[in-house]
Amino acid sequence: MAPPGLPCSPGPPGLRACRACDRVCPRPQLPGRKPPDIRTASTHTEHMTPTPAMTHTSLKLRPLPTPVSLTTGSVLVIVDAPDSYPCRRCLHDGLVGETMRLVSYDAFLGVSPYTGAGPIFVHENGCEQFERSEQSKELDEQSEGGGVPEQLRRRLLAVRAYDTAHFMVASELVEGSDLEETARQMFASAEVAYLHVHFARAGCFAVRIDPG
């Protein structure tokens, strides 16, 4: 059951239930923050209409925002199929025959109930972290890519928006080709500080996005 001071109450359909009590729990009030009402909090961005300002918001993709440990509990795997082992460091998928490491990783830079580790792949050797310069190059080379790597554009993605206290304030399920537009719509809300993108089918963390 929920701890004292955090009474649980039934929530609207579609909201994720609390693991402890199997009911929707309100978020605790933080000092200086208006208590959010989870019953009315946005879990989607369909109501947002892109404005010219939103359209021009630049995005900064941020792979591996926290250090990744390649030792604790990790395993080596050999890529046996194309487009199946997405490296979160270089944002390219492993090529058949390459060695990659499956590691447990927590991308959160702060502490909140939303933090937690999950599995990701990284190349075992010799890949460089995706950088802004490469992003700019891809912008030039891919007129429809908008700087979003192909690894992300061809997958179904879960995009989760967090505020500065690391609480989720919105979420969307989108095709990767729509990531850029969705991210800009989410950043139109002053409440949104950053996004975590996950590969929707497997649920693994893919990349963080900050306003550019």
The pair phi, psi for residue 178, each rounded to 5°, is -100, 5
158 binds Zn ion (CB under 5 A): no
Interface stretch with Zn ion, choices 47-55, 72-80, 113-121, 127-135 (CB under 5 A): 127-135
Interface stretch with Zn ion, choices 2-10, 35-43, 122-130, 149-157 (CB under 5 A): 122-130
Q: Are 104 and 204 in contact (CB under 8 A)?
A: no
Q: What is the smallest separation between the CB atom of 87 and Zn ion, expressed in angstroms?
A: 3
Q: What is the smallest separation between the CB atom of 98 and Zn ion, expressed in angstroms?
A: 9
What amino acid is encoded at 67 in this protein?
Answer: P
Using the Cα atoms of residue 96, residue 175, residue 189 and residue 187 in order, give the sign of their dihedral: positive
Interface stretch with Zn ion, choices 62-70, 84-92, 140-148, 198-206 (CB under 5 A): 84-92
Nearest residue (CB) to Zn ion, 121 versus 167: 121
64 binds Zn ion (CB under 5 A): no
Give the distance from CA 172 to its chain's centroid.
10
Q: What is the smallest separation between the CB atom of 89 and Zn ion, expressed in angstroms?
A: 4
Among 59, 61, 79, 90, which residue sits at the site for Zn ion (rule: CB under 5 A)? 90
Here's the x/- map for Zn ion, 37-56, by CB under 5 A: it reads as --------------------
In whole angstroms, what is the distance from residue 41 CA to residue 45 CA?
11
Q: Is residue 59 classed as helix, strand or coil in its secondary structure?
A: strand
176 DSSP assignment:
G
Nearest residue (CB) to Zn ion, 24 versus 102: 102
Which run of H or E residues covers position 194? strand 194-199
Tokens of residue 59, six digits: 């995005």
In whole angstroms, what is the distance from residue 139 CA to residue 164 CA?
29
Among 123, 153, 155, 208, which residue sits at the site for Zn ion (rule: CB under 5 A)? 123
Among 59, 87, 159, 195, which residue sits at the site for Zn ion (rule: CB under 5 A)? 87
CB atoms under 10 Å from CB of 175, counted, come to 13
User: How does strand 156-162 pair with strand 168-175?
Assistant: antiparallel
Give the total of residues touching Zn ion (CB under 5 A): 5
89 binds Zn ion (CB under 5 A): yes
Residues within the interface to Zn ion (CB under 5 A):
87, 89-90, 123, 127
